[in-house]
Chains A and B, each alone.
Chain A
Amino acid sequence: MNQQASRYFVPEPSHWPVVGSTALFLMATGAVLWINKVAFGPYVLLAGFAVLVFMLFGWFGTVIRESEGGKYNARVDASFRWSMSWFIFSEVMFFAAFFGALFYVRVLSVPDLAGLEHQQFLYPGFGSQWPSAGPAFKEHFSPMGAWGIPAINTLLLLSSGATLTVAHWGLLKNNRGQLKLWLAATILLGLTFLSLQAYEYVHAYQELNLKLTTGIYGTTFFMLTGFHGLHVTLGATMLIVILFRVLAGHFKPEHHFAFEAVAWYWHFVDVVWLLLFIFVYWM
């Protein structure tokens, strides 16, 4: 084994971690104050967020410089691959908790609440059917249908997965034009998805009387799609960063893990959407 290749890259001391911790501490404190209606809470939260953005720029800037400076050998690259896979696994488990909640209420708690003894003592007349907003919810609401915007959104996300792959092919063939074009198309599809989802939310609140507070249906609907939306936002932001790096001439056909990591993430977000489409909207 070659001396240089076997040597592992160990970074210099760095202040970015502690800046990041400060950011999270401020954000957590700010959020606590804010939701407990302390006046300056939102400002603390915002300050924390600003520090976080500062940290992200600084830290990723350093990583990109190191990467472009050729400090990352094949071993480091393998490390990145492992770590990204495990990170995505942790995200899978996070969504699993919320899907678990959805299945639990649909299969267990709502039918239970409509069971005989519950009917007799607690909730006369409550019937079990999904969608349900629970026995105490008296207003009328309409659930979100699957075959309007959600179906379009499914198409958008699925095709964005395809365009991203085409962009990747471009990168592998060192065809920068193809790379730029299809990467930009992917971002566009992602942003369209987000706009449609925003529109869908407005529609739900204004026309369907479907809100976060609409019992368990509203709860699971908005929490699941909301967290997914958040992940799409994150994924789209990362794609935009990658686009800028591409425009700056970064990445080589044989060395472009950042691109691949973001692509994995994007595909993961895609798969989650498919499950959402099936279990939240459709069935």
Chain B
Amino acid sequence: MTSKASSMAGLAGLGLSLYSGLSQAAWELTFQKPATRLGQEIFSLHDWMMVIITIIFVGVFGVMFYSVYAHRKSRGHKAAQFHENTLVEIVWTVVPLVILILMVIPVTGTVLAMRDTSNPDLTIKTTGYQWKWGYDYIKGEGEGIRFIATLATPPEQINGKAPKGEHYLLETDRHLVVPVGKKIRLLTTANDVIHAWWVPALAVKQDAIPGFVRDTWFKVEQEGIYRGQCAELCGKDHGYMPIVVEAVSAEKYSKWVEEQKKLMAAAADDPNKTWTLDELKSRGEKVYAANCVACHQATGKGVPGTFPALDGSKVVMGPKDVQIGTVLNGRPGTAMAAFGKQLSDVEIAAVVTYTRNAWGNKAADMAQPGEIKAARK
């Protein structure tokens, strides 16, 4: 019902009524179907505002078009010469003011509710990286789970070499799984530049600012998968850092937590293991694909002028510790982030080894996790 009111309002103004018959998903005329109570409220606020605005609009331009029709010279209308009327002028200053006050009262309530992040059931921290989201379950059931979610759409679909899938650009390799009916407090921060965590159906958008922690909250009402995107320009792949939230029942959530705990225990690397060159290289290739290709490209050739080539780079071919330092600490003031916080010792060792031995690079040496550990100090 509300969606209809809003579409009507939008259309009335411009007479684009030819769209009204086409209400399939593709010609969507208003907000996505909200899955939270706040989303619902915003939805109806917007409708309510469209109604008021449409009434004023029709009123003002009704008068104007009547005048355009009736008071034209070609119909022989003679111009009146009045040019002020204090009463009218006071009325049309005060009436809009009153209308605005009427509009703003309900909005104030939602704003206050929106910012009330107290007493959460579950606290999750999300970190924006160029260009992926990291999640950290901080408090509540699932505490300790952490992972990074990246775009799952294959590059062929983006480049037009393969047909585009149903959730083109809105799919990630890992979903942010949350229980329904629980208040979830989301802390946002970023590692490099400003990102914004936005899922339209949940009515949540919050900037993730490097070096600061901000918070917001949501409580999903229905089970389902909700898709969103980074909403603050964050560089090259800003259009390619989606967010997928999977809301599940409390039982399913508990089961998911158990699974994750087991997976994480199994995946933990033995800190004392000595790795072989081949092990490191194959592990490193995966790390590289997940973290470095966005800039340095799969070919290692980079993007000239913006991202340096690693293939043949003096740093990569040079002393190992310099390269380890570059990857661990990044290069401040450039897009080269400090990966020390994101990647484990093993992963850094692996990716360093990989880059030293991939493409035309033939260093034939390797970095062991222990060296990374030492370099972190």
Interface residue ranges, A against B (CB under 8 Å): 112-113, 117-118, 121-122
Are A117 and B187 within 8 A (Cβ)? yes
Interface residue ranges, B against A (CB under 8 Å): 125, 187, 189, 211-213, 215
Are A121 and B187 within 8 A (Cβ)? yes
Classify the secondary structure of B's interface with A.
strand
The 11 listed contacts between A and B (C-beta, < 8 Å) are A113-B212, A117-B215, A118-B212, A118-B213, A121-B125, A121-B187, A121-B189, A121-B213, A122-B189, A122-B211, A122-B212
Q: Report the minimum CB–CB distance from A136 to chain B (whole Å).
A: 9
A135 closest partner in B (C-beta): B211
Give the A-B pair count, Cβ closer than 8 A: 16
Given contact pairs A121-B187, A121-B189, A122-B189, A112 touches B212 in the complex (Cβ within 8 A): yes
Residues of the A chain whose Cβ atoms lie less than 8 Å from the Cβ of B212: 112-113, 118, 122
Residues of the B chain whose Cβ atoms lie less than 8 Å from the Cβ of A113: 211-212
- Please measure, in the bound complex, the distance between the C-alpha atom of A117 and the C-alpha atom of B136, giving whole angstroms: 14
B213 closest partner in A (C-beta): A117
- Please measure, in the bound complex, the distance between the C-alpha atom of A121 and the C-alpha atom of B189, giving whole angstroms: 10
- Please measure, in the bound complex, the distance between the C-alpha atom of A71 and the C-alpha atom of B125, giving whole angstroms: 71
Residues of the B chain whose Cβ atoms lie less than 8 Å from the Cβ of A112: 212
Residues of the A chain whose Cβ atoms lie less than 8 Å from the Cβ of B215: 117
Q: Report the minimum CB–CB distance from B214 to chain A (whole Å).
A: 9
- Please measure, in the bound complex, the distance between the C-alpha atom of A117 and the C-alpha atom of B125, giving whole angstroms: 11
Q: Report the minimum CB–CB distance from A180 to chain B (whole Å).
A: 51
Known pairs A112-B212, A122-B211 / 6 extra A-B pairs, C-beta < 8 Å: A117-B187, A118-B212, A121-B189, A121-B213, A122-B189, A122-B212
- Please measure, in the bound complex, the distance between the C-alpha atom of A35 and the C-alpha atom of B106, giving whole angstroms: 52
Residues of the A chain whose Cβ atoms lie less than 8 Å from the Cβ of B125: 121
Residues of the B chain whose Cβ atoms lie less than 8 Å from the Cβ of A117: 187, 213, 215
Give 9 nearest A-B pairs by CB, closest first.
A117-B213, A118-B213, A121-B213, A122-B213, A121-B125, A112-B212, A122-B211, A117-B187, A118-B212
- Please measure, in the bound complex, the distance between the C-alpha atom of A117 and the C-alpha atom of B215, giving whole angstroms: 10
Residues of the A chain whose Cβ atoms lie less than 8 Å from the Cβ of B187: 117, 121
Residues of the B chain whose Cβ atoms lie less than 8 Å from the Cβ of A121: 125, 187, 189, 213
Q: Report the minimum CB–CB distance from B346 to chain A (whole Å).
A: 24
Q: Report the minimum CB–CB distance from B234 to chain A (whole Å).
A: 19
| Residue among B125, B187, B189, B211 facing the most chain A CB atoms (10 A cut-off) | B211
Q: Report the minimum CB–CB distance from B194 to chain A (whole Å).
A: 14
Q: Report the minimum CB–CB distance from A133 to chain B (whole Å).
A: 14
Q: Report the minimum CB–CB distance from A64 to chain B (whole Å).
A: 46
Q: Report the minimum CB–CB distance from A134 to chain B (whole Å).
A: 9
Q: Report the minimum CB–CB distance from A29 to chain B (whole Å).
A: 19
B214 closest partner in A (C-beta): A117
Residues of the A chain whose Cβ atoms lie less than 8 Å from the Cβ of B189: 121-122
Q: Report the minimum CB–CB distance from B244 to chain A (whole Å).
A: 24
- Please measure, in the bound complex, the distance between the C-alpha atom of A81 and the C-alpha atom of B157, giving whole angstroms: 65
Q: Report the minimum CB–CB distance from B115 to chain A (whole Å).
A: 15
- Please measure, in the bound complex, the distance between the C-alpha atom of A113 and the C-alpha atom of B212, giving whole angstroms: 7
A116 closest partner in B (C-beta): B213
B127 closest partner in A (C-beta): A121
Q: Report the minimum CB–CB distance from B144 to chain A (whole Å).
A: 15
A134 closest partner in B (C-beta): B211
Residues of the B chain whose Cβ atoms lie less than 8 Å from the Cβ of A118: 212-213
Residues of the A chain whose Cβ atoms lie less than 8 Å from the Cβ of B213: 117-118, 121-122
Q: Report the minimum CB–CB distance from A214 to chain B (whole Å).
A: 15
| Residue among A112, A117, A118 facing the most chain B CB atoms (10 A cut-off) | A117
- Please measure, in the bound complex, the distance between the C-alpha atom of A112 and the C-alpha atom of B189, giving whole angstroms: 14
Q: Report the minimum CB–CB distance from A33 to chain B (whole Å).
A: 16
Residues of the B chain whose Cβ atoms lie less than 8 Å from the Cβ of A122: 189, 211-213
Residues of the A chain whose Cβ atoms lie less than 8 Å from the Cβ of B211: 113, 122
A119 closest partner in B (C-beta): B213
- Please measure, in the bound complex, the distance between the C-alpha atom of A113 and the C-alpha atom of B213, giving whole angstroms: 9
Q: Report the minimum CB–CB distance from A175 to chain B (whole Å).
A: 57
Q: Report the minimum CB–CB distance from A177 to chain B (whole Å).
A: 57
- Please measure, in the bound complex, the distance between the C-alpha atom of A121 and the C-alpha atom of B211, giving whole angstroms: 10
- Please measure, in the bound complex, the distance between the C-alpha atom of A122 and the C-alpha atom of B127, giving whole angstroms: 12
Q: Report the minimum CB–CB distance from B128 to chain A (whole Å).
A: 14
- Please measure, in the bound complex, the distance between the C-alpha atom of A113 and the C-alpha atom of B189, giving whole angstroms: 12
Q: Report the minimum CB–CB distance from A215 to chain B (whole Å).
A: 12
A120 closest partner in B (C-beta): B213
Q: Report the minimum CB–CB distance from B125 to chain A (whole Å).
A: 7
Q: Report the minimum CB–CB distance from A121 to chain B (whole Å).
A: 6
- Please measure, in the bound complex, the distance between the C-alpha atom of A112 and the C-alpha atom of B211, giving whole angstroms: 10
- Please measure, in the bound complex, the distance between the C-alpha atom of A117 and the C-alpha atom of B211, giving whole angstroms: 11
- Please measure, in the bound complex, the distance between the C-alpha atom of A222 and the C-alpha atom of B124, giving whole angstroms: 40
Q: Report the minimum CB–CB distance from A253 to chain B (whole Å).
A: 49
- Please measure, in the bound complex, the distance between the C-alpha atom of A122 and the C-alpha atom of B211, giving whole angstroms: 7
Q: Report the minimum CB–CB distance from A74 to chain B (whole Å).
A: 36
- Please measure, in the bound complex, the distance between the C-alpha atom of A213 and the C-alpha atom of B213, giving whole angstroms: 24
- Please measure, in the bound complex, the distance between the C-alpha atom of A121 and the C-alpha atom of B215, giving whole angstroms: 13
A115 closest partner in B (C-beta): B213
- Please measure, in the bound complex, the distance between the C-alpha atom of A117 and the C-alpha atom of B185, giving whole angstroms: 13
